[in-house]
């Protein structure tokens, strides 16, 4: 059998400014989805060129790896029509029109799900005959769909972390670093609300904030700090300003950063990533852990998949424990170093690029050989644990979640 053609399609309209020419150096300060599409496509091309012709299809010019064959399409419909390949990998769509188009196209499609999969989307994936595989990035994300037919097509391939070369952390300065998108669902306001309590216990602590609300839309109007919308800045600033409405001298906002953030991570004692909301698989935690930084976050969602409590970081169930966990890691350097070392080993063993690429190659081969249900599909792996009560709860929770999602979207 000769080489098979595999195409990746993702929009790069909002990241045309970014330098993605060397993704092995890490995310240059864009959304994880576009970065990972480029990284996986580029590295599959390098390491499996004897098996696949890898094409990268996008809708806007940007700086991409020179080893990629880059093609252009105006949108997902154009990408499906214009370039005939054995497989096409796309970000999981939410529009019913796209699924109808895929069904008529005859193309073999892999959906790569980087976000929570809503019930309606799960049903469209399951019902679309030309979607041969649904790749989730985390087990917690995938098992939210437990009992749904989409599980027959679903496998989990974690997001990788390229090897980060970092000198030993400096634990002399008690620095807490938050990394992530600055909007309400990512929960920076909760950390801000706890900051003065942390300062009471560790007066010389510093809070460094990496990220901004315009990560996905550079035209977004920002507040006075230039890192979040006016309304969200107003929400969290009240916690971290003094009586004269001046930002506390212990708080530093850095905005969107690429690999220059390493200089901050090198001096970070405690990492914080989304302590309140949903994450499928938070790559920011993986980046911090790869640098040997213990992370404090909520004991839910994808956060609990990449932070092992009391082993690689600390996960809280009660809100009142959040600040105490941070304080503990700032004061106890021996525990901090132990958890940080464990975190680095955990990421190296479970999220290394070689391992993830091998899993991608296995799934590509399976899909090319016309196997609709992978031998490692989640339905087969977890099918023996099925219960009607749990299945019923999935349908009910999914319906309520989708209804809230629809109502919220209709109000915008």
DSSP string for 37-50:
HHHHHHHHHHH-TT
10 three-class SS = coil
Residues 78, 54 share a domain = yes
Q: Could you tell me if residue 167 is inside a domain?
A: no
CA distance linking residue 22 with residue 24, whole number of Å: 5
CA angle centred on 129, ends 127 and 134, rounded to 5°? 75
What contacts 77, CB < 8 A, 6 or more positions away?
A: 98, 101
Instruction: Note the helical H segments in 283-352.
Output: 283-290, 303-306, 319-331, 333-350
The CATH number for 223's domain is: 3.40.50.2000
Residues 205, 71 share a domain = no
The 10s digit of each residue's pLDDT in 340-376 is 999 999 999 999 999 999 999 999 999 988 644 445 5
Cα of 247 vs its chain's centroid, Å: 30
Q: Could you tell me if residue 23 is inside a domain?
A: yes
CA distance linking residue 46 with residue 67, whole number of Å: 8
Q: How sure is the predictor about 223, in pLDDT bands with cuts at 50, 70 and 90?
A: confident
Domain boundary among 332, 350, 368: 350
Residues 151, 11 share a domain = yes
159 three-class SS = coil
Residues 180, 135 share a domain = no
Residues in the chain: 412
Q: Could you tell me if residue 231 is inside a domain?
A: yes
φ and ψ at residue 102, rounded to 5 degrees = -60, -40
Cβ atoms of 309 and 299 closer than 8 Å: yes
Structural domain for 116, as ranges:
4-161+353-406
Mean pLDDT value of segment 194-217: 94
Joined tokens for residue 35? 């970065």
CA distance linking residue 400 with residue 217, whole number of Å: 29
What contacts 100, CB < 8 A, 6 or more positions away?
A: none
pLDDT above 90 (res 305): yes
Joined tokens for residue 210? 């990496």
CA distance linking residue 166 with residue 327, whole number of Å: 24
Residues 208, 321 share a domain = yes
CA distance linking residue 326 with residue 52, whole number of Å: 47
CA distance linking residue 368 with residue 346, whole number of Å: 32
For position 378, what pLDDT does the model report?
Answer: 54
Q: Could you tell me if residue 169 is inside a domain?
A: no
Cβ atoms of 279 and 297 closer than 8 Å: no
Q: Could you tell me if residue 170 is inside a domain?
A: no
CA distance linking residue 318 with residue 224, whole number of Å: 33
Mean pLDDT value of segment 30-55: 96
Q: Could you tell me if residue 383 is inside a domain?
A: yes
Q: How sure is the predictor about 385, in pLDDT bands with cuts at 50, 70 and 90?
A: very low
Cα of 154 vs its chain's centroid, Å: 18
Domain boundary among 306, 325, 350: 350
For position 48, what pLDDT does the model report?
Answer: 96
Q: Could you tell me if residue 226 is inside a domain?
A: yes
User: Mean pLDDT, the chain, as a whole number?
Assistant: 89
CA distance linking residue 148 with residue 395, whole number of Å: 8
CA distance linking residue 350 with residue 112, whole number of Å: 19
For position 147, what pLDDT does the model report?
Answer: 87
347 three-class SS = helix
Per 3-state DSSP, the chain is made up of helix, strand and coil in percentages (nearest 5) of 45, 15, 40
CA distance linking residue 25 with residue 329, whole number of Å: 29
Q: How sure is the predictor about 408, in pLDDT bands with cuts at 50, 70 and 90?
A: low
For position 268, what pLDDT does the model report?
Answer: 96
For position 214, what pLDDT does the model report?
Answer: 84
> Considering its fold, how many domains does the chain have in total?
2
Residues 156, 179 share a domain = no
Crossing angle between the packed helical segments 230-237 and 188-201, to the nearest 10 degrees: 20
Residues 185, 334 share a domain = yes
For position 258, what pLDDT does the model report?
Answer: 87
Torsion-angle region of 245 (φ positive above 0: left; ψ -120 to 50: alpha; else: beta): left
Residues 26, 10 share a domain = yes
pLDDT above 50 (res 407): no
CA distance linking residue 83 with residue 88, whole number of Å: 9
Write down the pTM of the prediction: 0.89
Mean pLDDT value of segment 286-303: 96
Q: Which residues of 29-62 are buried (b: 16+ CB within 10 A; e: fewer)?
A: bbbbbbbbbbbbbbbbbeebeebbebbbbbbeeb
Residues 111, 191 share a domain = no
pLDDT above 80 (res 403): no
pLDDT above 80 (res 60): yes
Q: Could you tell me if residue 412 is inside a domain?
A: no
For position 369, what pLDDT does the model report?
Answer: 82
Residues 376, 250 share a domain = no
Cβ atoms of 265 and 325 closer than 8 Å: no
The 10s digit of each residue's pLDDT in 310-335 is 999 999 999 999 999 999 999 999 99
270 three-class SS = strand
């Amino acid at each position: 059998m000769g080489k098979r053609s595999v195409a990746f399609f993702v929009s790069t309209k909002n990241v045309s400014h970014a330098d993605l020419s060397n993704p092995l150096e890490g995310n240059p300060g864009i959304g994880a989805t576009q970065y990972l599409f480029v990284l996986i496509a580029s590295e599959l091309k390098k390491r499996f060129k004897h098996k696949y012709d890898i094409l990268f299809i996008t809708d806007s010019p940007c700086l991409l790896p020179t080893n990629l064959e880059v093609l252009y399409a105006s949108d997902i419909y154009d990408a499906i029509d214009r370039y005939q390949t054995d497989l096409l990998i796309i970000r999981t769509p939410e529009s019913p029109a796209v699924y109808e188009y895929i069904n008529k196209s005859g193309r073999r499609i892999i959906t790569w799900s980087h976000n929570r999969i809503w019930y309606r989307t799960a049903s469209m994936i399951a019902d679309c005959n030309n979607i041969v595989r649904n790749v989730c990035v985390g087990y917690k994300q995938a098992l939210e769909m437990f009992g749904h037919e989409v599980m027959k097509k679903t496998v989990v391939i974690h997001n990788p972390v390229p090897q980060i070369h970092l000198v030993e952390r400096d634990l002399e300065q008690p620095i807490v670093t938050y990394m992530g998108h600055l909007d309400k669902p990512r929960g920076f306001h909760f950390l801000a609300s706890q900051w003065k309590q942390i300062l009471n216990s560790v007066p010389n602590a510093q809070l460094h904030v990496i990220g901004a609300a315009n990560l996905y839309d550079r035209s977004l109007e920002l507040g006075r700090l230039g890192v979040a919308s006016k309304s969200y800045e107003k929400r969290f600033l009240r916690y971290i300003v003094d009586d004269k409405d001046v930002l506390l001298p212990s708080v530093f906002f850095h905005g969107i950063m690429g690999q220059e953030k390493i200089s901050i991570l090198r001096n970070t004692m405690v990492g914080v990533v989304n302590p309140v909301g949903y994450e499928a698989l938070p790559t920011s935690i993986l980046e911090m852990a790869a640098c040997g930084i213990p992370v404090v976050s909520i004991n839910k969602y994808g956060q609990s998949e990449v932070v092992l409590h009391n082993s690689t970081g600390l996960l809280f169930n009660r809100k009142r424990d959040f600040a105490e966990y941070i304080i503990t890691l700032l004061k106890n350097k021996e525990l901090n170093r132990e958890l940080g070392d464990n975190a680095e080993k955990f990421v190296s063993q479970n999220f290394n690029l070689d391992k993830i690429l091998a899993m991608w190659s296995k799934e590509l081969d399976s899909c090319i050989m016309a196997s609709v249900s992978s031998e490692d599909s989640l339905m087969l792996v977890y099918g023996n644990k099925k219960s009607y009560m749990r299945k019923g709860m999935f349908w009910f929770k999914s319906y309520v979640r989708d209804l809230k999602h629809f109502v919220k979207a209709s109000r915008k």
